[in-house]
Amino acid sequence: MVTEQKKRNFFIYLIVGLILFYVVHWLVKLYDLAPATEGVIFFDEARLDWMRANWSSKSLIDFSFTQSSLYGGGIAFFIVLMFYFRVNDKGRYRYGEEHGSARYATIKEIASFRDKEPENDMIFSQNGRMGLFNKRLPFNRQLNKNTLTVGLPGDGKTFTFVKPNLMQMNSSFVITDPKGLLVRETGKMLEANGYKIKVFDLVSLTNSNQFNVFHYMHDELDIDRVAEAIIAGTKRSDNTGEDFWNQAEMLLMRALIGYLYFDGKVLKKYEPNIAQVADLLRNIRREDEDTPSVVERMFEELEEELPGNYANRQWELFNGNFEGKTMTSVLSVASSRFAVFDHDAVRNLTARDSMEMEKWQTEKTAVFIAIPETDKSFNFIATTMFTMMFRQLPKTADEIIQGLHPTCKPEDLLHIRLILDEFANYGRFPNFTETLSSVRSREISIDIIIQAISQLKALYKDQWETIFNNCATLVYLGTNDKETMNYFSMRSGKQTINVKNQSQTRGAQGSSSQSIQTIQRDLLTPDEVARIGVDEALIFISKQNVFRDKKTNVLQHPRAKELANSPSDDNWYRYIRTMSDMDDWDANVNHDRVINTTEKQVLEADLPFSLAS
C-alpha cells in the first residue's frame, strides 16, 4: 500500500488552538486572582498553590479578557499554528511493502471474476473461475478469455482443465484430442445436450469427418495462406539456407494451389482438393524437352480462360527464376512433402468437406481433432486446417456482428473455445500471435496447453512472450523446466518480510541484543514453484496477485455422471463417420431389405420398366 505523509487538517489545528487559547486565558485570569507575594515578580509559587487549592471557585466560563490573558492565550494559539506550519515531510512510504507487495490473492478477490450463473464460467481450479461472457461482467473484470496452461504429463491437464470446461457446455468447442479418448468420454454427454459432434482423425485416418481446404478459400489471398501453412507445417529448421528453398517452393505451391482454385472453384469445373497438388507435381516434368508438359499446357489453357490470373503469374515467376538443377531440387522437395497423398486414406480424408466450419458459431458444435503425438508426417494437414479455421471463424463472426450474415443476428453469435492440448506438437501456425490478439472481440478464445516454455520458444522464438502476454489467464500445474520455474517465480512477484537478528555475548558481563529489519523475498522461489502440491494449481489472472488453490476435481462437477471412463460404460460414445458415397449408402440403408442378386438375374427379371439404354 502506497502511503504519503498525511496532509494536516487546518480545521483541527484551529479548534485545538482556540481551545488552548481559552484554557491559557482562563488560567492567567485565575493566576491574577491569587494573592500576590511581596517581592516576587515571576511565577509566584504561593500563587500557584492558591490556584491549585481554589480553581473550582472560579467559573469555567469567562469571556472577559485582560491584557495578560490575551497575551497568554495568543502565545498558546501561536504555538499551535507553528506546529501546523512546520516543514512537511513529503516522503512516500509503503509500510510493510518496502521491498515488494506481492501476496496470494484471496478467494473473495478471485470470486469477483465469476458470472452470476455458474454454468457461464470458465474453470481454472476449485475456486478459480472466470465468466466467459464479458457483457455479463463489471467493466473492471472484463478481460480477454485466452488462457495458457503449463503442466507435465500426469499433472491432470485433461482431468482438471479440459474436461471440466467441456462439461460447462457454454460455447462451441474445438479440442485437440491426441489420444482420441476425449471424444469417447465426453461425446455422448455433449450430443445429448444438443451438440453436433465433428471428428477429424489424423491418427487412424478412418471413421472421420473430412476436411477440404478449398471449401474455405474465398479469394486469391487464401492461396498464399494455404501455401504458407503447408510450408510452415513441414519446416524442419530455421537456418537461412533452407529459407531459399522455402521461397522457391512457395512460388511453386502458390502456382499449383492457385491453378486448382481458379480452374476448379472460380470456373466452377469441379471441387478441387489438396491431394490434386500431388497429381500436378507428377505431371510437371517434360518428357521431351521440346514438348510442353501436361501441367504447362493446363496453365496455358487457364491463361486463355482467365487472362492475368494470380496462379499464372506465380507460375511464370517460378519458371523464369528457377531452372535446371535448382528447379529439379525444388520439385523434389515439394514432391516429398506431398508424398503422404499417395496413401488412399489421406487422399480420402481431404477429398471433400464435412467439417462445416461456417456453422460452428451458429450451432453448438464440438470438434475433436486427433493428431499423432510422435509421427509428424501429417502435421501440415493439421496446420492447414487451423490456418483456415483462424480465417473462417473471424470471417463468420464479422458477418454476424456487422449484420451481413444471411440468417443470423448478432445475438445469435456463439462463443467458440479452441482448447489446444499438446500445442507444441502441431507445428508453427502462421500469424498465430496476430490471431491470438485479434479474436477477443469476435467471441473466440484460445486455450493453449504446453509442458514447458522451452517448447513454445522452439516454435515461436521471441514471439513466445507475445503469446504469454495475449493470454489474460495463466494456469500452472507443474513443471521440471528451469526456465518455466523462473518465469512463474518472477510472475509471482516480490514480497517484504521481517527478519529477526539476535546476538549474544558470553562472559562475566555477557549481553544480548535483538534487531528486526525488512528484506525482499520471492513470494515463490523457483524451487517452490516446482514443489507445489500434486493437487495444487497456481492461477495468474492479469493485474491480480497469484491465486494458489486446489486443482479442479472433475468428479465434483454437476455433470460428472454423464462422463464415460471405459468402453464398458453406457456413456461411452460410439460413432460412425462416412467418407464416401458408398459409405453413406451403407450406413443409412436397411440391410434387411437389401436383395443380393447378379446382373444376369436383374436383366432376366420381369420388371415393369425397361433397362435398355
Mean pLDDT split into 10-residue runs, the chain, 613 residues = 60 88 85 71 70 80 86 87 72 69 92 96 97 95 96 94 97 94 97 97 93 95 92 66 75 96 95 95 87 93 96 93 84 89 93 95 97 83 93 95 94 96 88 92 96 94 94 96 96 84 72 76 93 96 96 95 95 90 70 76 71 58
Q: To the nearest 10°, report the CA torsion of 214, 215, 217, 219.
A: 110
From the number of C-beta atoms within 10 Å of its C-beta (0-12, 13-18, 19+), residue 609 rates as: exposed
CB-CB neighbours of 389 under 10 Å: 23
- Scan for cell 466450419, then name that residue: 357
Element (H or E) spanning 443, and its range? Answer: none
Whole-prediction pTM value?
0.81
What is the rounded CA–CA span in Å between residue 417 and residue 449?
13
Predicted pLDDT of residue 88: 60
Residue 130 CB contacts under 8 Å (≥ 6 apart), including other chains: 113, 114, 121, 122, 124, 143, 145, 473, 541
**pLDDT confidence of residue 327:** 86
Q: How many helices (H) and strands (E) does the chain have?
A: 22, 15
Q: What is the pLDDT of residue 531?
A: 95
Q: In the chain, which residues fall in CATH 3.40.50.300?
A: 115-211+360-613
Query: How far from 339 is each of 276, 292, 384, CA to CA, in Å?
Result: 11, 24, 16
pLDDT of residue 41: 56
In degrees rounded to 5, what are phi and psi of residue 205?
65, 15
> Do 137 and 131 touch, CB atoms closer than 8 A?
yes
Query: Are residues 400 and 435 in contact, defined by beta-carbon separation less than 8 angstroms?
Result: no
Task: Return d(Cα 115, Cα 171) in angstroms, integer.
Answer: 15
Superfamily holding 115-211+360-613: P-loop containing nucleotide triphosphate hydrolases (3.40.50.300)
**CB-CB contact of 366 with 190 (8 Å):** yes
Three-class DSSP category at 14: helix
Q: Give which of 427, 430, 482 is closest to 454, Cα–Cα.
A: 482
Q: Is 363 exposed, middle or buried (0-12, 13-18, 19+ CB in 10 A)?
A: middle
How far apart, in whole angstroms, are the C-alpha atoms of residue 309 and residue 257? 13
The pLDDT of residue 493: 92
Give residue 405's pLDDT: 93
Per-residue model confidence (pLDDT) at position 232? 80
Q: What pLDDT does residue 440 have?
A: 86
| DSSP 8-state secondary structure symbol assigned to residue 273 | -
String of DSSP letters for 247-268: HHHHHHHHHHHHHHIIIIIITT
Supply the pLDDT for residue 91. 63
- Supply the pLDDT for residue 47: 74
- What pLDDT score was predicted for residue 239? 57
Contacts of 524 (CB under 8 A, 6+ apart): 488, 489, 492, 538, 546
Instruction: Say how far apart CA 18 and CA 599 lie, in whole Å.
Output: 122
